[in-house]
Amino acid sequence: MEDLITIIVPVYNVEQYLEKCLDSIINQTYKKLEILLVDDGSTDASGKICDLYAEKDHRIKVVHKKNGGVSSARNVALNIASGSYIHFIDADDYIELNMIETLYHYIKRDDYDIAICNVNFIKHAVVSPHVIEKKCETVLNQSQFIGMLFGEEWYRGYLVNKLIKRECIGSIRLNEEIHMMEDLVFLVKISSNVSKVYFDKTAYLYYYVQRESSVSHFFESEKYFSIIKAFEEIIPYIGICDYDTKNTILFDYISYIMTYYYYCYYFDKITFQKEKKQLLKKRNQYMYQAMHQHHYSIFQKIKLCILAYAPLGYGRLKLIKDKKQQSFFYNKA
């Protein structure tokens, strides 16, 4: 007997993308679906489109709520989800028609906790090219899974290319105060309940549409630097990771701490005076470990040292180089 799979789609002002997304879901080759659309206070026609699709397909349930962000919308859906497996899709993206069936086949093959496929990136309606490889399947334990989330192809930290066993999520929810890397934090947290993960690197089944208006492309200090809080929630879980993964996380954590330090100095003096000592304390706590990261070059380590111990000079050079502050962006791609 097939299992019920819940697909969660947070929706906010995506009227021009939404129908393509929903068509790719309702026409899946795997039919036993519960499709939860959470209209997160959209001010365009997105909410009406959700309702129209719900009238056409009994598997669709629509929740209209006050705007609270993508994590809030996902949490609302998780609280009412009925499926044995959970899959998250962004409303401006779309999927191959056999994606759910393929991931379900993978996850049932040997009772995996999570099944992962690869991602196509689309910019200006063009799919980014990728190398066509021979079949490359990987089975990961808990430690390897966390390490993969922080690998060079960091998009593996996204939620949208993963089918997850419901019991692995349990009562864990996304932190609604984190606006960057919230997917990755959630995955690291549920890793405590994960023992076996399947990843097919050659299965490009998800289409990730990169929009200029995406939240990740706008620099807002409060939201952007919640990335520091994200790292602080991740660090307690890295004890089981290998040496290089631990130091990769600490290396990146320090980089963001000191980027925030010089941002506050130039743009938010009140916050700078309030948080200066605490930020330097955090830097000192992990700097020695971070410098022992094997994956980073000598040049990168020198750059981190300059950022860590001469942050204001580093910041001035950054601002001169890029007056529009593009250097602060944490792009999706």
**Beta pairing class for 5-11 and 137-140:** unpaired
Phi, psi of 85 (to 5 degrees): -135, 150
Query: 105 or 286: whose pLDDT is higher?
Result: 105
Both structure tokens of 295: 């994956």
DSSP string, 184-247: HHHHHHHGGG-S-EEEEEEEEEEEEEE-TTSGGGS--HHHHTHHHHHHHHHGGGGGGS-HHHHH
Confidence (pLDDT) at 219: 47
Confidence (pLDDT) at 199: 93
* pLDDT band at 148; cut points 50, 70, 90: confident
Distance CA 95, CA 64 (A): 24
Across all residues in the chain, what is the average pLDDT? 87
Contact 240, 143 (CB under 8 A): yes
Query: 223 or 149: whose pLDDT is higher?
Result: 149
Q: Which residues pair with 163 in a beta bridge?
A: 87, 115
pLDDT at 126 over 60: yes
Confidence (pLDDT) at 211: 72
- The answer to which of 10-14, 87-91, 114-118, 208-212 has the lowest mean pLDDT is 208-212
Confidence (pLDDT) at 194: 96
Closest C-alpha among 23, 196, 2, 7 to residue 96: 23
Q: Which residues pair with 119 in a beta bridge?
A: 206
Q: What is the mean pLDDT of residues 222-229?
A: 82
Confidence (pLDDT) at 323: 56
Confidence (pLDDT) at 288: 79
In whole angstroms, what separates CA 118 from the centre of its chain? Answer: 14
Q: Which residues contact 36 (CB under 8 A, 6 or more apart)?
A: 6, 7, 8, 9, 61, 63, 77, 80, 81
Q: What is the mean pLDDT of residues 133-142?
A: 80
Q: Which residues contact 186 (CB under 8 A, 6 or more apart)?
A: 159, 172, 173, 174, 175
Confidence (pLDDT) at 292: 73
Q: Which residues pair with 35 in a beta bridge?
A: 7, 60
Label residue 15 exposed, middle or buried (CB < 10 Å: 0-12, 13-18, 19+): middle
* pLDDT band at 186; cut points 50, 70, 90: very high
- The answer to which of 155-159, 162-166, 270-274, 326-330 has the lowest mean pLDDT is 326-330
Q: What share of the chain is helix, strand, coil (3-state, %, to 5)?
A: 50, 20, 30
Q: Report helix, strand or coil for 163.
A: strand
pLDDT digits (tens, 9 = 90+) for 57-87: 999 999 999 999 999 999 999 999 999 999 9
pLDDT at 244 over 90: no
Distance CA 284, CA 306 (A): 14
Distance CA 293, CA 128 (A): 31
Structure letter (DSSP) for residue 44: S
* DSSP H or E stretch at residue 48: helix 46-56
User: Rg for the chain (alpha carbons), in Å?
Assistant: 21
Complete domains list, the chain, with CATH: 5-210 (3.90.550.10), 219-328 (no CATH)
Q: Report helix, strand or coil for 7.
A: strand
